[in-house]
């Protein structure tokens, strides 16, 4: 039986074609894995940016000893990046002793020194806060709720000066119940 000319040499082109298709599939697989790795790394950086923003917000709120001015801004450095915290007054009552309402915004930025100074991820959070003016009703610098008792052989030396705070009423240095002198004399 004689061979036809059209059947000659079909195996080699078919093998080359299959190797080319498999190479394209392998390249697409590598590209997908690389994309998934970038996505996972970016997700981790986004979580780190959120943690930095929260850390900066909590640090700012915990270190404020006085009511912050409107628009107060601070940069708080933390491990792995920094947070820019800004406080805006939302409600300023006319009464100076009333509570002020603020919105505090914190933007966390992840910095990896090996990748340069540009942030790798950024996340912003905000929280309403209320600045409460601290008040304390001071009865005396030293208050003996149950009176003073003199023990035999002992001495009592209590000294106090009456003073006032910022034009307020006079605050006694020592405050004791009414019959405290009888308690000392009777023992």
- The whole-angstrom separation of Cα 90 and Cα 130 is 10
Q: Does 111 lie in the same domain as 48?
A: yes
Q: Does 169 lie in the same domain as 77?
A: no
Please, what is the average pLDDT of the chain? 79
The CA-to-CA distance between both ends of the chain, in Å, stands at: 139
Q: Does 126 lie in the same domain as 36?
A: yes
Q: Does 43 lie in the same domain as 115?
A: yes
Q: Does 98 lie in the same domain as 85?
A: yes
Supply the pLDDT for residue 46. 85
Percent of the chain past pLDDT 70, that is, above it, reads 66
- For residue 89, is it within any domain? yes
CB 112 within 8 A of CB 81: no
Note the pTM of the prediction, 2 decimals. 0.56
Supply the pLDDT for residue 125. 96
Query: What is the domain extent for residue 140?
Result: 136-187
- For residue 5, is it within any domain? no
Q: Does 80 lie in the same domain as 154?
A: no
Q: Does 114 lie in the same domain as 44?
A: yes
Domain total in the chain: 2
- The whole-angstrom separation of Cα 71 and Cα 108 is 18
- For residue 10, is it within any domain? no
Residues 6+ apart with CB under 8 A from 61: 104, 129
Residues 6+ apart with CB under 8 A from 120: 45, 110, 111, 112
Q: Does 152 lie in the same domain as 95?
A: no
Q: Does 53 lie in the same domain as 119?
A: yes
- For residue 116, is it within any domain? yes
- For residue 20, is it within any domain? no
Q: Does 127 lie in the same domain as 155?
A: no
Q: What is the CATH number of the domain that holds 59?
A: 3.30.1300
Quote the strand ranges of the chain, DSSP E: 72-78, 81-91, 100-110, 121-131, 142-143, 163-164, 170-171, 174-175
Burial of 81 (0-12, 13-18, 19+ CB in 10 A): buried
Of 131, 147, 177, which marks where a domain is finished?
131
Q: What are the pLDDT digits (tens) for 139-181?
A: 666 666 666 666 667 666 666 565 665 656 666 666 666 665 5
Q: Does 58 lie in the same domain as 148?
A: no
Supply the pLDDT for residue 114. 79
Supply the pLDDT for residue 186. 44
Q: Does 105 lie in the same domain as 147?
A: no
């Amino acid at each position: 039986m004689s061979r036809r000319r059209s059947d000659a040499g079909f195996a080699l082109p078919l093998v080359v074609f299959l190797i080319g298709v498999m190479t394209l599939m392998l390249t697409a697989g590598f590209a997908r894995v690389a994309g998934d790795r970038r996505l996972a790394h970016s997700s981790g950086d986004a979580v780190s940016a959120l943690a930095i923003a929260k850390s900066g917000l909590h640090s700012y709120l915990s270190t404020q000893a006085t009511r912050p001015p409107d628009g107060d801004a601070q940069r708080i450095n933390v491990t792995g990046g920094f947070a820019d915290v800004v406080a805006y007054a939302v409600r300023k009552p006319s009464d100076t002793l009333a509570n002020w309402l603020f919105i505090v915004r914190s933007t966390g930025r992840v910095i990896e020194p090996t990748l340069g100074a540009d942030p790798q991820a950024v996340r912003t959070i905000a929280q309403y806060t209320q600045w409460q003016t601290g008040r304390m009703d001071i009865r005396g610098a030293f208050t003996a709720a149950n009176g003073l008792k003199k023990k035999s052989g002992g001495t009592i030396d209590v000294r106090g000066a009456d003073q006032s705070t910022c034009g307020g009423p006079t605050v006694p240095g020592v405050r004791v119940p009414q019959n405290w002198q009888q308690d000392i004399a009777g023992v």
